[in-house]
Amino acid sequence: MEFAEFELIVLRAREERAVHVVPGVFTPFDFWRASEVELARAEDALGVRLPQKYRRSC
């Protein structure tokens, strides 16, 4: 899946979520980013390497 496809899925989910009441501080699509260390841990745990194009610098 390309990043643009993923962003479209997230956008559709947000639009769907907008019509539902979400309790309290629960926000399923907050914009948080994993650090390089967190990404490395996930890659090691899963035995995979994420393509560089999936990483976004801030």
Helices (H) and strands (E) in the chain, counts: 2, 0
Identify the pLDDT of residue 58.
Answer: 47
Other C-beta atoms closer than 10 Å to the C-beta of 39 total 15
CA distance 46 to 43: 5
> Are the C-beta atoms of 38 and 55 separated by less than 8 Å?
no
**Residues spanned by the domain of 8:** 3-54
Q: Which position has the token pair 């745990």?
A: 45
Q: Is the pTM of this model over 0.85?
A: no
The total number of structural domains in the chain stands at 1
Q: What type of residue sits at position 42?
A: A
User: Could you read off the pLDDT of 5-48 as tens digits, one per residue?
Assistant: 888 888 888 887 766 666 666 666 556 677 888 889 999 999 99
Q: What does the DSSP 8-state code read for residue 19?
A: T
